[in-house]
Structure 1
Amino acid sequence: MKKSKLIVLIMVVFSLSLGGCSFFNGQSAKKQEMIQIAESKKMKVAIENMLKKLDPKALTPEGKIKSYKISKDDLDYNPMGGLLVKIVINNDEKLVLSTTIQEDATTGKYEETYFGETEELSDLLDKE
């Protein structure tokens, strides 16, 4: 009796460990896919176009937005479609732009569908 309980316990532990490993591998593959999308040329064009709408001189020496970085740890899929992206401006964690970017079905280009900015970024962009 004890031997059969031990065998069942070993099988349960083994099954749970296999299930856990496959779950984490699936999550890792999903994260890698999001990073690949975020680092694509189409995404770069979409983000830079969005930044230039906020600051026409963005990414130039005269602009208020000098640089940007996508926070890879904060990438996630939006349940309504698209990719949720957190963009850090000028290497300052207080200057953050959060956006949802989707692929246009007709053109194949990425476009922002929504964005929000921190108060600090809003203040920077409002300064003359």
Structure 2
Amino acid sequence: MKRKWIKKRQIVLIITGICLLWIGGTMYMDHLKLEEEMIKVVKSEEAKNVLETGLKNLDPNALTAEGVIKSYKIDYENIKSNPMGGISVPLIINGNYKLVISNLLSRNSIDGELGNLKIGSANTTYELGELLKEGVEDSEE
């Protein structure tokens, strides 16, 4: 009598374990698919144009020899999905990891169709903010 109870308990535990592994695996695969899709969007030509326009809004001479922002690199390891919608894309400026701009890329949905990609917000590190202020003051003199 006692043996049957143990066998039933073992079967229930095995089935529960299999279900948990299946659910966890499915969630992990969905996460990988989402990451892949975000990187695909960030690598697109449209995203490049939007990000460069955002840089030029911060520094009119961006990506030129006269600008504070001479180059940028997308930090693909730190791209994240924003809980409020969109993709958080960090840009490393001039190869210096202390000079970072965090952009929030998003798309509006118009009548069920995706609109254009845009920057919802952009945050700079303190160091970059100070450099940009100095650049603006120098250009006004």
Q: Could you state the TM-score of these two structures normalised by the residue count of structure 2?
A: 0.80
How far, CA to CA, are the matches of 1:79 and 1:2 in structure 2? 45
Alpha-carbon shift at residue 104 of structure 1 (Å):
5.2
Partner of 1:16: 20
Q: Which residue of 2 aligns with 1:45?
A: 49
Among 112, 115, 125, the residue aligned to 1:118: 125
Moved more, 87-96 or 36-45: 87-96
* 1:29 counterpart SS class: helix
SS of 1:32's partner is helix
Determine which of 97, 100, 121 is the counterpart of 1:96: 100
Q: CA RMSD in A?
A: 1.9
- Figure out how many residues of one structure are paired with residues of the other and give that number: 128
Distance 1:105 1:4, change over 3 A: closer
Q: State the one-letter code of the partner of 1:7.
A: I
The separation in 2 between residues aligned to 1:60 and 1:104, in whole angstroms, is 31
Instruction: Report the identity percentage.
Output: 37
Per-residue CA deviations over 1:72-113 (Å, capped at 9, x if unaligned) read 232233343322221111121110111212235579432212
Number of the residue aligned with 1:70: 74
Rounded to whole Å, the distance in 1 between the matches of 2:109 and 2:31 is 26
Q: Which runs of 5+ in 1 are unaligned?
A: none
